[in-house]
């Protein structure tokens, strides 16, 4: 899928990067406009720290409708946001995606926020954890749509607005109304406690879709697990770079809304894990004292 947006001027990028850096340094919870301040223009954006929300109506010419996005909360690198939509399809375009309102971290035909703050790109072969959590709700009878991550990969570590991706990886958490992925089924895999069907397609770059067999509205994933699943199958090279991470809803047709309660991406940090117990026993003159220390590592 080609999710293009207008290119920002160099001056606008510089001013925006400075604002993001100051907010990050302060480490504060930032008040958000909420649904009352929603934006409904095609490719309107809302900056939220290192992310931005993109009202990405890339397939709007295949239908008729409206869509809006808004921010609801931000605390550190955890954000909340929402979108509502109403789409009908033109004749013969019922199965075409009309929109992908989404958060963007990193590259999306260029860089809108401070690049250093995104911690992207990441070389696939470096095996850095890309941990993400997402809790959301979907309205009842939301039409034909999905809730999915969209990852962009390049052959170099300095991709900019003019550079087409080599690979795209989608991770479908939820699908409604008979929505289906591009391409044909390649196989299946068990990752992060769930079964996923893998689909493979080509639209000028390779598109891989991991479709969860059972819908969920809450996920905690390491996206590196999905890139490595493709590496093991020799579908993706370790020399590729993960440049952009997006999360949102592809809408084919219908009316509904997606509300994200909490969403975050954390790159390069491993969880603290218990490694065992170290016991140190000491004796005081008046009795015995036992001290226990629990060791953890990153």
Q: d(Cα 54, Cα 150) in Å, to the nearest integer?
A: 13
Write down the pLDDT at residue 200. 98
Write down the pLDDT at residue 295. 33
Write down the pLDDT at residue 272. 41
Write down the pLDDT at residue 269. 75
Write down the pLDDT at residue 14. 40
Write down the pLDDT at residue 70. 98
**Given its phi and psi angles, is residue 38 left (phi above 0), alpha (psi -120 to 50 degrees) or beta?**
beta
For the beta carbon of residue 205, count every other beta carbon within 10 angstroms.
Answer: 16
Over residues 73-127, the pLDDT tens digits come to 999 999 999 999 999 999 999 999 999 999 999 999 999 999 999 999 999 999 9
Write down the pLDDT at residue 31. 55
What pTM was computed for the model? Answer: 0.82
Write down the pLDDT at residue 271. 55
Alpha carbon 58 to its chain's center: 18
Burial of 237 (0-12, 13-18, 19+ CB in 10 A): middle
Low-confidence ranges of the chain (pLDDT < 50): 1-27, 272-298
For the beta carbon of residue 189, count every other beta carbon within 10 angstroms.
Answer: 17
Q: d(Cα 151, Cα 169) in Å, to the nearest integer?
A: 5
């Amino acid at each position: 899928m080609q999710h293009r947006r207008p290119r920002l001027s160099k001056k606008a990028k510089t001013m925006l990067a400075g604002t993001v850096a100051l907010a990050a340094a302060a480490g504060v919870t930032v008040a958000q406009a909420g649904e009352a301040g929603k934006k409904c223009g095609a490719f309107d954006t809302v900056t939220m720290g290192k992310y931005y929300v993109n009202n990405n109506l890339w397939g709007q010419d295949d239908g008729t409708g409206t869509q809006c996005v808004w921010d609801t909360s931000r605390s550190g690198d955890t954000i909340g946001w929402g979108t509502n939509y109403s789409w009908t399809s033109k004749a013969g375009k019922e199965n075409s995606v009309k929109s992908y309102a989404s958060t963007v971290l990193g590259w999306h035909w260029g860089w809108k926020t401070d690049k250093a703050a995104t911690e992207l790109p990441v070389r696939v072969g470096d095996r850095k954890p890309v941990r993400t959590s997402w809790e959301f709700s979907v309205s009842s009878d939301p039409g034909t749509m999905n809730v999915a991550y969209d990852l962009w990969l390049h052959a170099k570590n300095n991709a900019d607005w003019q550079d087409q991706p080599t690979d795209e990886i989608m991770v479908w958490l939820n699908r409604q109304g008979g929505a289906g992925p591009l391409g044909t089924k390649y196989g299946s895999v068990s990752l992060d406690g769930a079964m996923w069907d893998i689909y493979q397609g080509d639209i000028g770059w390779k598109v891989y879709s991991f479709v969860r067999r059972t819908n969920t509205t809450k996920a905690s994933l390491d996206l590196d697990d999905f890139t490595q699943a493709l590496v093991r199958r020799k579908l993706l090279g370790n020399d590729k770079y993960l440049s952009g991470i997006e999360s949102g809803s592809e809408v084919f047709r219908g009316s509904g809304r997606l509300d994200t309660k909490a969403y975050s991406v954390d790159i390069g940090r491993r969880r603290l894990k218990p490694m065992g117990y170290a016991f140190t026993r000491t004796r005081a003159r008046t009795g015995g004292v036992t001290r226990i220390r629990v060791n953890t590592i990153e």
